[in-house]
Structure 1
Amino acid sequence: MSALPWRARIYVVAVCVAALAAASTVVLTGTDPVALVVIGLLFAVLDPLSTVSLGRGRGVTLSASFPVSLAAVILLGPAGAAIVSLASAAYQPSRPPLVKRLFNAAELAVSAACAGVVYTALGGEEKLGSDDFPLVLLVVVATTAVYCAVNAGLVAGVLTLAQGVPFAHGLRTTLSTGLVGYLLYGLFGLMMAVLWSTEVGALAAVLVLLPLLVARWAFGQYAAEREAYERTVRTLVAAVETKDLYTRGHSERVSTGAELIARRLNMSEDRVELVRFAGLLHDMGKLGVPTRLLQKDGPLSPEELQIIALHPVRGVEMVREIEFLREAYDGIMHHHERVDGRGYPMGLKGDQIPEFARVISVADAFDAMTSTRSYRPARGTAEAMAELERCIGTHFDARMVEAFAAAIAEHGWTAAEVPEPAAGSTAPAARYDHDDPTSAPMPPPVARPIREDR
């Protein structure tokens, strides 16, 4: 805890005190001790095993422990729900630092207690056992929303005080990944509470949670498969970037920039993930370009320019059998097209250029300009952005540049590290840089050598 800033330490202590205060009132509520122990043990076992993330950024998070927490809110009230959540501090196989373990348990306890207060205030207990039962669904939705909001606010608060993350950003990120999952799993918690309150009793946990855990396992297998695929993609990208020291990390940064633009354009989460993969793979075709051309000093001959101009086509040929990528093919194939029709490989113009390609071209050019090359220093962020804006209507789509500028203003940009020059080396003459919009000449368009039957 000594590593935390003093404000963060005070915050963590305050949250822990609030959790203990909420839990201490359980003696006044006449809570069923058997139910308290059983539900507490369930939560303690499930909490460290429960989270599976589907997608990035605004993806959905699956949590098998939340239905238990909501069932505790309904069956045990605010104080009982707080105690159940505190039980998660007792069992953490990953052995996180004690401060983190205590804070996580405390913020869950405070969230559950607040949700319990809302459930009670809205008359959830009366509606659960009456002819107005359907109305309890609205109460559960409101209770779940409060739980999620309090949880997100507490997490965002500690991130702000401990790491300087803007509160709004932390709050938005936590809500975007958790709210949908919480609302869906709230129904499981309601089912568990209803069955528990009948003659089924503790067996309700098995009846409700077993299918949920099976679904979690299936999603876990899916997430592991996607993770393995991404590692494979990054290995291929690393192979490309070993051919040219000055493009090291370029694909990762282009992927990040493309994702920023896609989110600013409010693309669906599936399309955001695809454009991110397209950004990672956009230069895959360089594996088919001789290293001597990628590292050549001075101007390239027309024949050499044609070889460079084919790298988007080669890239699609390398990944076209991966059906998962779908729309990403267009981003890889056409990211060097220009809106004035003078790009390559096909000389597409304006809206003829696929949206993914227009996104990637902006991120690609910006990273190229803000990276040091062997023959010139990196440009500053403001200068590179001004160049993007100057090239609107010739190289770039105005909507993509505007979205990128807004995203950079909000999130900032981590430019490439400056590579150390070799001892005794001198700066070579300027050469053609196919990623830099200020480089000339552009290669002429080439014929499309692959089929469109994907």
Structure 2
Amino acid sequence: MKSVPARARVYVACVALAALLCLLPLPEVRAPWGALALLAALYAAFEHVVRRRFSGAFHPVLLAGAFLLPAPAAALVPLPGALLAGPGRPGPLRRIWRAAQSALAVWCAARVHGALGGRDAVAGSDFPYALVPAGAAVLVFCLVLAVLDGGLLAFGAGMAPAPLRQRGSVPVGRAWRGLLSRSLAPTAVHGLAGLMMAVLWRSPYGPVAALLVLLPMCVSWWVFAQYHRERAAHQATIRALVQAVDIKDGYTRGHSERVGQASVMIARELGMDDERVETLRFAGILHDVGKLGVPTRLLRKDGPLTPEERRVIELHPEYGHEMVRGISFLGEARAAILHHHERLDGSGYPYGLVGGQIPECARVVAVADAFDAMTSTRSYRRARPVAVALEELERCAGAQFDPLMVGALVRALGRRGAAAGDGWHPAVTADETPAPVPAAVPPEPVADADGAGNRARPGARPGAHR
């Protein structure tokens, strides 16, 4: 793994050394070796077979080991599966990391569980007291995993698990943010399953009954994995559509992603729930997908548009709506694609809706669209400063834009320091270096968001855009 930085290798070596120290007392421990071997084989089977088909971590077996075995023996359970099996043929360093991380987490959980008398409670089926040490052990298990993952993000993001690796390299102060809160709920469910396994294991029914606990867990895991696969397919569909638009209209390359980002900022500022925030992100990313139905010569035309050409351009929201009509997961994002060029005063298109007739999601995307257009450099004009763009949005609020959405964007950018030049860095969206803009050319309309709609067009109405 040549791309792994030296500091990440040192970090992994330190974690591996700590895991080895946890195993040192093993020869002196009276451990049920049969239970240890069965749990280790079971975990290796899940690593080798199940995780090759379904993504995600599966911790009930590890936590059952923490509830049943002394800490050094429990730390041995994940080692065969992590070192010898696993999805994607990971390299040696990644295998060592996964084994050491799991061993440390299980060891800590087992120590806490034993210190609180958890093994006696499990052996005597002492409910509800058995839940207390088990809950503490699960919390420690989850905390150790989060701490170690955060360290890997800080020292070598390229080695982190796939969901964390997408975050890229992050500052040390933010490497651990959100890791514990995101993993605590699913790990708690796995902990309950592990506790049920341990109680049944120690009961007269024995290990066979304990293994039956894994059947519903495997079914639920499979359902969850199917959901994530479907979500990944959705993301791939959206990426393909956006890339097609970017290839066709070079003037707005990257514009869609930034509109999605600004839409998310507005939605969060308005207190929308996570599901609607995600829908607004889709809406922003796909708002111009209808350009695929517009002739390329019109999208790339440098001169003024004729009235007939402009009428063709203004069909792109309807084209986009038709393209995504059958994609059910987009939800209300489809309405935003259709109506993001409507105006509160009724002068927009395609239907001239007025005020509250315009869907809320479309009013969000309209503001995000115009903001990015004004703050992006294109081949025919320079970008406006963020502060100037926000002033223009506020000036047009009430006639063109919803004042509530404009205010939300202003507040969101203010918290990020974007008005002072920080927190918003739109890229150059043209293929070539922007041409100098003559000083005699007057400022462009506020929402020239879709390319050359107002370039050198005499009599263009304020704010009109493609």
**TM-score, normalised via structure 2 length:** 0.79
Are 2:101 and 1:118 aligned? no
Match of 1:421 in 2: 432
Residues 74 and 106, structure 2, Cα contact 8 Å, conserved in 1: yes
Match of 2:161 in 1: none
Distance 1:140-1:352 versus aligned 2 partners, 3 A rule:
farther
* Deviations, residues 325-374 of structure 1 (Å, cap 9, x unaligned): 22212322333345676654456666665443344334433433444322
* Deviations, residues 286-343 of structure 1 (Å, cap 9, x unaligned): 2333333322223334554444344223322332233322221232233334567665
Residues 52 and 86, structure 2, Cα contact 8 Å, conserved in 1: no
Deviation for aligned residue 1:151? 0.7
Residues 367 and 415, structure 1, Cα contact 8 Å, conserved in 2: yes
Are 2:153 and 1:159 aligned? yes
Match of 2:162 in 1: none
Deviation for aligned residue 1:118? 2.2
Distance 1:46-1:331 versus aligned 2 partners, 3 A rule:
same
Question: What letter matches 1:397 in structure 2?
Answer: V
Question: What letter matches 1:421 in structure 2?
Answer: E
Question: What letter matches 1:118 in structure 2?
Answer: V
Match of 1:441 in 2: 461
CA distance in 2, matches of 1:233, 1:212: 32
Are 2:377 and 1:403 aligned? no
1:41-440 superposed matches below 5 A: 41-47=41-47, 62-63=56-57, 65-87=58-80, 88-130=82-124, 132-163=126-157, 164-204=169-209, 206-262=211-267, 267-338=272-343, 343-345=348-350, 353-378=358-383, 383-384=385-386, 386-388=388-390, 390-392=392-394, 393=397, 395=401, 396-406=405-415, 412=423, 415-417=426-428, 419-421=430-432, 434-435=448-449
* Deviations, residues 99-122 of structure 1 (Å, cap 9, x unaligned): 222122212221222222222233
Residues 255 and 280, structure 1, Cα contact 8 Å, conserved in 2: yes
Question: What letter matches 1:330 in structure 2?
Answer: A
Question: What letter matches 1:435 in structure 2?
Answer: A
Deviation for aligned residue 1:404? 4.8
CA distance in 1, matches of 2:265, 2:53: 20
Number of aligned residue pairs: give it.
433
Aligned with 1:435: secondary structure?
coil
CA distance in 1, matches of 2:71, 2:125: 24
* Deviations, residues 199-228 of structure 1 (Å, cap 9, x unaligned): 333324531222322333333334333333
Question: What letter matches 1:37 in structure 2?
Answer: A
CA distance in 2, matches of 1:325, 1:301: 34
CA distance in 1, matches of 2:320, 2:223: 32
Residues 253 and 429, structure 2, Cα contact 8 Å, conserved in 1: no
Aligned with 2:77: secondary structure?
helix
CA distance in 2, matches of 1:441, 1:325: 32
CA distance in 2, matches of 1:194, 1:224: 34
Question: What letter matches 1:85 in structure 2?
Answer: P
Residues 89 and 105, structure 1, Cα contact 8 Å, conserved in 2: yes
CA distance in 2, matches of 1:75, 1:233: 47
Match of 1:36 in 2: 36
Distance 1:236-1:169 versus aligned 2 partners, 3 A rule:
same
Distance 1:12-1:418 versus aligned 2 partners, 3 A rule:
same
Residues 274 and 325, structure 1, Cα contact 8 Å, conserved in 2: yes
CA distance in 2, matches of 1:41, 1:336: 60
CA distance in 1, matches of 2:136, 2:427: 46
**TM-score, normalised via structure 1 length:** 0.81
CA distance in 2, matches of 1:114, 1:266: 39
CA distance in 1, matches of 2:358, 2:340: 9
Aligned with 1:376: secondary structure?
coil
* Deviations, residues 16-37 of structure 1 (Å, cap 9, x unaligned): 1111111222333311111111
Distance 1:42-1:268 versus aligned 2 partners, 3 A rule:
farther
- The alignment yields a C-alpha RMSD, in angstroms, of 3.7
Question: What letter matches 1:79 in structure 2?
Answer: P
* Deviations, residues 245-289 of structure 1 (Å, cap 9, x unaligned): 122333233334434554565543332332222223211222333
- Unaligned 5+ runs, structure 1: 55-60, 446-454
Aligned with 2:120: secondary structure?
helix
CA distance in 1, matches of 2:155, 2:358: 45
CA distance in 1, matches of 2:144, 2:315: 53
Match of 2:165 in 1: none
Distance 1:417-1:328 versus aligned 2 partners, 3 A rule:
same
Deviation for aligned residue 1:3? 5.2
CA distance in 2, matches of 1:418, 1:284: 17
Match of 1:58 in 2: none
Aligned with 1:134: secondary structure?
coil
Distance 1:209-1:238 versus aligned 2 partners, 3 A rule:
same
Residues 257 and 404, structure 1, Cα contact 8 Å, conserved in 2: no
* Deviations, residues 154-205 of structure 1 (Å, cap 9, x unaligned): 1111211224413454323433542221122221111111111123333245
CA distance in 2, matches of 1:369, 1:443: 11
> More deviation in 95-104 or 361-370?
361-370
Distance 1:107-1:259 versus aligned 2 partners, 3 A rule:
farther
Distance 1:31-1:406 versus aligned 2 partners, 3 A rule:
farther
* Deviations, residues 43-74 of structure 1 (Å, cap 9, x unaligned): 223236656999xxxxxx853x3001110110
